[in-house]
Homo-oligomer: A and B are copies of this chain.
Amino acid sequence: MIIVMHPEATSEEVAQIVERLQDLGADIHITTDGGRTVVSGTTESRLAEEAPWTDLPGVERVVPMVRGGRRVGRHFKSEDTVVQTMGVRIGDGSLTVAAGPCAIESREQMLETARLVVTAGAKMIRGDAFKPRTSPYAFQGLGKAGLEILAEVREETGRPVVAEVLDPREVELVGSYADVLRIGTRNMSNQALLREVGRQSKPVMLKRGRASTIEEWIDAAEYIHNEGNPHIVMVERGIRGFDPSARNTLDISAVPLVKLATHLPVMVDPSHAAGRRDLVASLARAAVAAGADGVMIDVHPRPEEAMVDGPQALLPDEFEMLMRDLEAVASALTSPRASNGQP
């Protein structure tokens, strides 16, 4: 349940609310939004929901812990969240491109690709050390050795690096190397993992589950926020559909839908959505035009040698051309979200 205080509520009035919630055994978060203090109390006691909160002095309104009451929701905080790391700001109206190989295969491959994409304009570098593969016999990533390569890449390029985390027991390890933790599509409903990244202070990119509704995806973000980590970027990466033409169906509507329902930034991964190189540029341009805060692109200097997802990786020159197009689209639209008619 979320209790929004009057703008003029006194600190004593806020304290009284907090005390009551503590008596009910609630887990309490306090934040402010537009000059109002907002107290959020999580408890399984039905008493909390039923208590006559609105009768207490200083309370403006009470939002039950239902859909509208999520901490990641627009109702909870109307300003956009800006997620920051090493000077990169996602969600402030600028365009962020994260690029790199799907998997870290070697020091040389990773460094070569990182230099290429940074030169072309990428602000952030991707590359995974742990890969969740459908078959147990497929290449599963270099593990800790890959993370060390990633750290070297950050050192050399000065750009933040993003890496996937698969296991709650490895969150600290990955977090000690990567600047942004990524939850992949297979683990969007892995709540033990969501809770664990929720206890970190690093930004988290939360990919949408392959067959998750927008609501379920936002609920997954709430698991992270509820543990104390509000630095969440939502990443649309295509959903399961019936058409075999592309690997997944990029749900472009997810961009405005998440923007309407939450205050979180949204990125799009057209590479994993398409699964084939010849669609990536169209989908990336569409994502930026739809209002996404950024895109994440697979790039590989020699895709035919890639150990994972080579057919979807752009070649370096294709990536450069795409960067120019994306910047052109972003400039053409001074305020993409506003033109949705939203405040």
Contact = CB atoms under 8 A, between A and B. Distances in A.
Interface of A: 42, 44, 65, 132-137, 139-140, 166-170, 186-187, 189-193, 209-211, 213-216, 219, 222-223, 226, 239-246, 249-253, 255-257, 260, 273-274, 277-279, 281-283, 285-291, 318, 321-322, 325, 328-329, 331-333, 336, 339-342
Given A186-B190, A321-B339, 20 more contacts: A42-B136, A65-B135, A132-B191, A134-B216, A136-B219, A167-B168, A168-B169, A186-B189, A213-B244, A214-B245, A215-B245, A240-B242, A250-B253, A256-B279, A279-B340, A285-B289, A285-B333, A286-B289, A286-B290, A328-B332
A276 to B, nearest CB: 10
A67 to B, nearest CB: 9
Contact of A192 (B133, B167, B252, B332): B167
A249 B256 contact: no
Contact of A333 (B190, B240, B325): B325
Nearest to A166: B192
Given A189-B187, A191-B132, A289-B288, A137 B249 contact: no
A213 B167 CA distance: 23
A134 B193 CA distance: 14
A77 to B, nearest CB: 17
A281 B259 CA distance: 13
22 contacts: A132-B189, A134-B189, A134-B216, A136-B191, A137-B222, A168-B169, A186-B189, A186-B191, A190-B190, A210-B211, A239-B243, A241-B251, A244-B244, A245-B257, A250-B253, A253-B282, A253-B283, A277-B341, A278-B341, A281-B339, A286-B289, A325-B333
A213 B256 contact: no
Contacts of A342: 278
A256 B278 CA distance: 8
Contacts of A281: 339-341
In this complex, which of A42, A281, A282 has the most chain B Cβ atoms within 10 angstroms of its Cβ?
A282
A289 B295 CA distance: 14
Contacts of A252: 250, 252, 282-283, 286
A245 B168 contact: no
A183 to B, nearest CB: 11
A70 B281 CA distance: 26
A328 B339 contact: no
Contact of A251 (B169, B186, B249, B329): B249
Given A190-B187, A256-B279, A242 B341 contact: no
Contacts of A190: 186-187, 190, 193
Contact of A213 (B137, B170, B222, B243): B243
A266 to B, nearest CB: 11
A30 B255 CA distance: 46
B243 A251 contact: yes
Top 10 closest A-B pairs, CB basis?
A: A211-B211, A186-B189, A289-B289, A167-B192, A286-B286, A332-B332, A256-B282, A328-B332, A285-B289, A286-B290
